[in-house]
Structure 1
Amino acid sequence: MGKDNNSYVLVLGMSIIDILGFCGNKYKACDSIPGNIKISFGGVCRNIAENLARVGVDTQFISVIGDDKNGKDIIEHSKQIGYCMENSLMLENSSTPTYMAVLNEHGEMVSAVVDMESANKLDSKFIDSKADVIRNSEYTVLDSDNPELLKYILETFKGETKFILDPISSAKAANIKHLIPYFHTIKPNRLEAEALCGFKIKNMEDAKRAGKFLLNQGVENVFISLDVDGVYYCNNNCCGLVKSEQVEVKNVTGAGDSFVSGIAYGYMNNLSMDEIVKVAIAMSVITIRHEETINPNMSMELVEKTIKELQWI
């Protein structure tokens, strides 16, 4: 079945409510400490979907949420921002996945409670019921949260959509090494690339070797983020390193998510690899300049302005 003109990116994964308590005074166990509490919408895939919508990409997001107030808030928010969640799994009498953490006066996590019971309800049977949405997407963004389900999706829809992987952590990346050949695009950071390739990345030569290792397994495009050293990208036709000068950092969480959104934006707008990396880096920079995990000012206009402002090296 051919793709129609209403081409979209599908993001498939978790939506999480993040509740963070920041201690204003010295942390003491078994005591209530004055401070402030921040509640926000999170989940790597949800963040990617939101960033995509903010830069004008037609985005479908399949997730799992409860029928509690948090779930309803996430749906409402998705409508405001403009990504479609109508194909998500809505669970009755269940809570939306939630992460609650207490951070001490130094901002270090001292305790956390994770309520992820509902996450396990996203199974192969539900995926089958959404087969058309997956097949008709140009690209499908996935993370390595659930290796079994990931394997099922990759095997079932092989060749019908192009898969983009955000490995999300080196521990999780290590669990899905055997699935590398299914991906069109992989975007690991240094540690995740080490976990996928099985060797340390200490310099540019190692980064090139890692890129080659992934391409040899059938991946088409590789983007390895090397923190201050920039981003190494490669495919079978070209390779390069793009970096910009250091920028002010307010919050690094979410930088990787916005980078992946930048890649998908680049694909949907037929940009060259070099241009894609610049868009993705600009989106990351916009993200880390704001306290929130997603910069509420994110837009293509701001991305273009940021690309012009950054000192590229």
Structure 2
Amino acid sequence: MGIVVIGDVFIDIKGYSLSPYIPQGRNAGTVIQIHGGVARNVAENIANIELKPTFISAVDDNAMGDDVIQKLKRHKVETKYMKKVKDGMGTWLAVFDHEGDVVASISKRPDHKPIEQILDEHGDEIFKDADSIAIEIDTDKEIVKKTFMYAEKYHKEVYALVSNMTIAVERRDFIRRTACFVCNQQEAGILFSEDYDHMTPAELAAILPDRIRSAKISRMVVTMGGDGSVFVDSDGHTGIYPGRKVDIVDTTGAGDAFFSGVCIGLTYGKTLQEACRIGTRLAATVICTTENICPRFMPEEFGLTR
């Protein structure tokens, strides 16, 4: 079954300004439309290391939905638990400045009921053979509850994806039950009600052990853009993994790729530091492309065996 990924498919409509972005002005640039969504990105990134994940999601009941499924199949993602329904996919409209950073966006979320139905109908067969579970923690609460119920029934580790931290902080009880919580610097500040925006990796590494013990989180990784990432566990072990210098085209999807690497590493027996190394490498490849996906690798390139 591989790693089971639960969450949404989005269609991303992305506009790139060719010169410094002018709010409320006309900006010459390029516009592309690609398959997106945090969970879909993660499923594809895992598949790009030939690990054959299973994706639990929904798509629109039309040609665009068919296209999403066929592309995932080509990447060797197991799609038999995906549903084709009306309003199965979300839409993300985003504008980027000439440096690749998002300056404006609007998001329309999909209907989550089909995913809950999939779990009701196939939960046991999905979870009993899973290597681990990756779920968007801010999705519909009933889906999150059922995921943790099945994961605990079959003794599977759960890794929490974040697409909306404002919702995720309301799920602290579930975050405590994850095998590792991965988020960015700003999201960590929201979680702990503090301002981490101007901290260095060393400063954040100094305070995180205290914070995760208080929050009863077993392991946590915080990404810090070009400064790398900070990892910590509840026993007080902490470290900093440096970022990789790359030519930035588009920063979106980098966090999803990093999460994918951490999830892969920890699922298949790597340490937190080793998992961050895998995540950093995947994130660096995504930043260099407008497609939000990493190139294909073999598991052996990361020292992975199944």
User: TM-score range with shorter-chain normalisation?
Assistant: 0.7 to 0.9
Matches within 5 A, 1:230-269: 230-236=228-234, 238-269=237-268
Equivalent position of 1:52 in the other structure? 46
User: In the TM superposition, what is the alpha-carbon distance from 1:34 to its structure 2 partner?
Assistant: 7.8
SS, match of residue 176 in structure 2: helix
Contact 2:250 2:287 in 1 (8 A): yes
Post-superposition Cα deviations, 1:140-179, rounded to whole Å, max 9, x if no partner, equal: 1112332513542355225232110122343233332332
User: Do 2:205 and 2:231's aligned partners in 1 also have CA atoms closer than 8 Å?
Assistant: no
User: Displacement of 1:251 after TM fit?
Assistant: 1.1
Give the structure-2-normalised TM-score. 0.82
Give the Å deviation of 1:300: 3.8
| 1:57–1:185 distance in 2 versus 1, CA, 3 Å | same
Q: Which amino acid aligns with 1:271?
A: K
Cα distance in 2 between the residues matched to 1:232 and 1:60: 29
Q: 1:208 to 1:128 in 2, by over 3 A?
A: farther
Question: Any gaps of 5 or more consecutive residues in structure 1?
Answer: 1-6, 305-313
Contact 2:133 2:159 in 1 (8 A): yes
Q: Is the 8 A contact 1:147 1:176 kept in 2?
A: no
Of 52, 73, 76, 1:79 maps to 73
What is the aligned partner in structure 1 of residue 286 from structure 2? Answer: 287
Residues 61-115 of structure 1: CA distance to partner in whole angstroms, max 9, x if unpaired? 0001121111100111011111111112222xx2442425374886866675x55
- For the residue of structure 2 that corresponds to 1:188, the secondary structure is strand
Which residue identity lines up with residue 240 of structure 1 in the other structure?
A: G
Q: CA deviation at 1:187?
A: 0.3
Q: What residue is the counterpart of 1:219 in the other structure?
A: 217
| Matching residue's letter, 1:12 | I
Q: Cα offset for 1:215?
A: 4.5
Residue in structure 2 matched with residue 192 of structure 1 by the alignment: 187
| Aligned 8 A contact 1:27 1:104 in 2 | no
2:239 partner letter: G
1:307 paired residue number: none
Q: Residues 181 and 220 of structure 2 are in contact (CA less than 8 Å); yes or no, is this contact kept in structure 1?
A: yes
Answer whether contact 1:169 1:192 (CA < 8 A) is retained. Answer: no
Q: Distance in 2 between matches of 1:241 and 1:178?
A: 27
Larger displacement relative to structure 2 (213-222 or 189-198): 213-222
SS in 2 for 1:187: strand
Change (3 A) 1:277 1:170: same
Aligned to 2:275: 276
Matched to 1:213, the amino acid is R
Cα 1:211–1:142 shift into 2, 3 Å: farther
Match of 1:172 among 167, 175, 198: 167
Other-structure match for 2:10: 16
Residues 42 and 259 in structure 2, CA contact (< 8 A), matched pair in contact too: yes
CA distance in 2, matches of 1:226, 1:196: 15
Q: CA contact under 8 A between 1:163 and 1:183: conserved in structure 2?
A: yes
Deviation string 1:8-36 (CA, Å, 9 cap, x unpaired) is: 1000000111223557899999x9x9864
Q: Cα deviation per residue 1:255-303 (whole Å; 9 max; x = unaligned)? A: 11111111122124322222211111111111112222113x2424896
Instruction: Tell me how far apart the structure 2 counterparts of residues 36 and 167 of structure 1 sit (CA, whole Å).
Output: 28
Q: The residue matched to 1:70 in structure 2 has which SS?
A: helix
Query: Closer, same or farther in 2 for the Cα pair 1:162/1:111, shift >3 Å?
Result: closer
The SS at the match of 2:5 is strand
Structure 1 position 218, deviation (Å): 4.3
Amino acid at match of 2:137: S
Percent identity, please.
20
Give the root-mean-square deviation of aligned CA atoms. 3.2
Q: Which one-letter code corresponds to 1:250 in the other structure?
A: V
What SS class does the counterpart of residue 137 from structure 1 fall into?
A: coil
From 150, 153, 158, the equivalent of 2:146 is: 153
Structure possessing the higher radius of gyration over alpha carbons? 1
Which blocks of at least 5 consecutive residues in structure 2 are unaligned?
A: none
Deviations 1:226-247 (A, max 9, x none): 2233211122453211114532
